[in-house]
């Protein structure tokens, strides 16, 4: 499907590795989406530095996951229970998605992409499903992932929008919004802990799965003098990840020292918060990313529009 800039603020071209790429351009900024994986690789508000981190060594090749941006995780998070050889984070992030519609409303543009079960997905996970993913570029970036059970039996799943945020220096940032929350510490034998601190500082490898968390997170980035705000609904899990220096050195698709410039704050339903859908049921998870002024600037008021009911129906 091809679009002309004269007709719509979206262009679909062939990008690196021969992968189809949609480029969105509005008065508010620019974004890029790789149709493999429905993977948002870039978002840059007008006049600002990019909000999403993308590794200089990211693999752009058919069937390969992309390091950075916003990978779509489905139908399991991390390693699949009982199937250690299954692809990490499921198959949605490496499957080709179909571009369904492009809609424009004022200064906002929305891409809708679809993924359905096929012979390849059924070999990994036997269930039938439909994923509908709406990517809206306006003054914010809104990502809405809808999961529909199109099979004749119920099934459980996990999902996530594995957002890589670009930060000036991860050791200088703080993450607010998780005080008092319980988390699974994947760097400490999956032990269950509680965050007693008012805000999280990244001082070493960090891999925390916060369960029962439905509120806003704010990443205060003093180097870039800005706050990155993540609002969500339909999500009960927040994952915070940074590999740290030692682990990053063993990641082949991450450039030298790049671990300092990324922080994943992921909107998810995983672990205790995995979901179950009956035949015909649906669930929508939405993440909205916004940029506000840093502590040295006057704060920007961010308004959250009402979301759909947080149910699995």
Residue 266 bears catalytic tag: yes
> DSSP 3-state assignment of 194?
strand
Q: Most distant CA pair in the chain: distance in Å?
A: 56
Which residue, 205, 262, 214, is CA-closest to 238?
214
User: For the chain, how big is the Rg over CA atoms in Å?
Assistant: 19
Residue 153 bears catalytic tag: no
The CA dihedral of 258, 263, 267, 271, to the nearest 10 degrees, is: 90
Residue 34: both structure tokens together:
């790789």
229, HSE (Cβ side, Cα atoms, 13 Å): 16
Q: List the end-to-end C-alpha distance of the chain, in Å, as a whole number.
A: 32
Among the listed residues 28, 89, 127, 162, the single catalytic one is 162
Among the listed residues 158, 258, 266, 284, the single catalytic one is 266
* Contact indicator for 3, 102 with CB cutoff of 8 Å: yes
Residue 78: both structure tokens together:
């991390």
Q: 184: part of which helix (H) or strand (E)?
A: strand 182-185
Residue 62: both structure tokens together:
């058919």
Query: Hey, which residues are catalytic here?
Result: 162, 266
């Amino acid at each position: 499907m091809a679009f002309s800039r004269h007709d719509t603020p979206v262009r679909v071209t062939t990008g690196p590795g021969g992968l189809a790429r949609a480029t969105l351009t509005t008065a508010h900024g620019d974004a890029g989406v790789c149709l493999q994986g429905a993977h948002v690789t870039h978002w840059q508000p007008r006049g600002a530095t990019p909000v999403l981190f993308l590794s200089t060594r990211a693999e752009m090749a058919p069937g390969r996951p992309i390091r950075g941006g916003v990978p779509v995780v489905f139908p399991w998070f991390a390693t699949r229970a009982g199937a250690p050889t299954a692809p990490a984070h499921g198959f949605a992030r490496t499957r080709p998605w179909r571009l369904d519609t492009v809609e424009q409303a004022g200064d906002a543009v929305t891409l809708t992409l679809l993924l359905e079960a096929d012979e390849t997905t059924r070999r990994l996970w036997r269930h039938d499903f439909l994923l509908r993913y709406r990517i809206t570029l306006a003054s914010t970036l809104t990502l809405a992932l809808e999961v529909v059970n199109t099979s004749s039996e119920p099934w459980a799943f996990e999902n996530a929008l594995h957002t890589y945020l670009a930060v000036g220096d991860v050791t200088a940032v703080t993450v607010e919004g998780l005080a008092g929350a319980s988390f699974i510490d994947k760097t400490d034998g999956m032990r269950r802990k509680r965050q007693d601190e008012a805000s999280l500082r990244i001082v070493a490898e960090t891999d925390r799965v916060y369960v029962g968390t439905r509120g806003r997170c704010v990443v205060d980035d003093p180097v870039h003098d800005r706050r990155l705000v993540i609002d969500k609904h339909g999500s009960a899990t927040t994952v915070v990840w940074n590999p740290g220096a030692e682990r990053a050195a063993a990641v082949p698709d991450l450039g030298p020292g790049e671990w300092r410039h990324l922080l994943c704050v992921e909107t998810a339903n995983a672990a205790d918060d995995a979901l179950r859908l009956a035949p015909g049921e649906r669930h929508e998870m939405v993440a909205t990313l916004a940029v506000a002024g840093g502590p040295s600037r006057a704060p920007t008021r961010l308004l959250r529009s009402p979301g759909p009911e947080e149910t699995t129906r």
